[in-house]
Amino acid sequence: MKNFRIHEALCHLFPEAPEGSWKLEQSSYTNGEITITEWSIPDPQPTQAQLDAAYLALERGDKINAIHAGHDAALAGVVALSDPTPTTVAVEAALLAATDLTGLEYARQKLATRRAELEAMVDAAATTEALEAVVVSYPV
């Protein structure tokens, strides 16, 4: 496995480690893998299982961010179909709340339910493969 996020994973595992606590290298000598070539903190180097758990935590964070961004975009699309800019969304949301509060609440609830479903799928994912299988989509 090519550890493209190894620096992020190490920062996740050792948040108090000072800059330069490890050196990473990728070369023909490492078969293209990014490996730890120097380690200067007292904690032992992480095992592959610890790195894999950190990769999963990072992937979960990315997926949760995508879920929230998708929710916000879907809500903006529901409120202001033709021009979902922040100003238009604010104006259209206020108009919709004044003229069709039930419709706005229905849309919000539908999107919030989908967001909760997606978050539950992310929480249940035990591997990065299972996490990648979670497709962020919303009914609009």
Q: How many domains does the chain have?
A: 2
Residue 113 makes CB contacts below 8 A (sequence gap 6+) with none
Do 19 and 68 sit in the same domain of this protein?
A: no
60 and 29 in a common domain:
no
pLDDT (tens digit, 0 to 9) for every residue of the chain, 140 residues total? 457 899 999 999 999 999 999 999 988 887 778 889 999 999 999 999 999 999 999 999 999 999 999 998 888 887 776 666 777 767 777 777 777 778 778 888 999 999 999 999 999 999 989 999 999 999 87
Does residue 140 belong to any structural domain of this protein?
no
Of 4, 110, 98, the closest CA to residue 51 belongs to: 4
Contact 3, 9 (CB under 8 A): yes
Q: Radius of gyration (Cα) for the chain, nearest Å?
A: 21
Same-domain status, 25 and 60: no
Burial of 101 (0-12, 13-18, 19+ CB in 10 A): exposed
DSSP string, 125-138: --SHHHHHT-----
Which of the 8 DSSP states describes residue 19?
T
Q: The tokens of 62 are what? A: 């990315």
Q: Is residue 121 part of a domain?
A: yes
Residues 53 and 121 in one domain: yes
Strands 34-39 and 22-26 turn out to be: antiparallel
SS3 for 94-109, per residue? HHHHHHCHHHHHHHHH
pLDDT at 82: 64
Same domain, 101 and 60: yes
Q: Are 61 and 117 in the same domain?
A: yes
Domain span holding position 21: 6-39
pLDDT at 15: 96
Please classify residue 83 by burial: count the beta carbons closer than 10 Å to its beta carbon, then call 0-12 exposed, 13-18 middle and 19+ buried: exposed
**Residue 53 and residue 120 in one domain:** yes
- Which pLDDT belongs to residue 1? 42
Residue at 119 is within a domain: yes
pTM greater than 0.75 (yes/no): yes
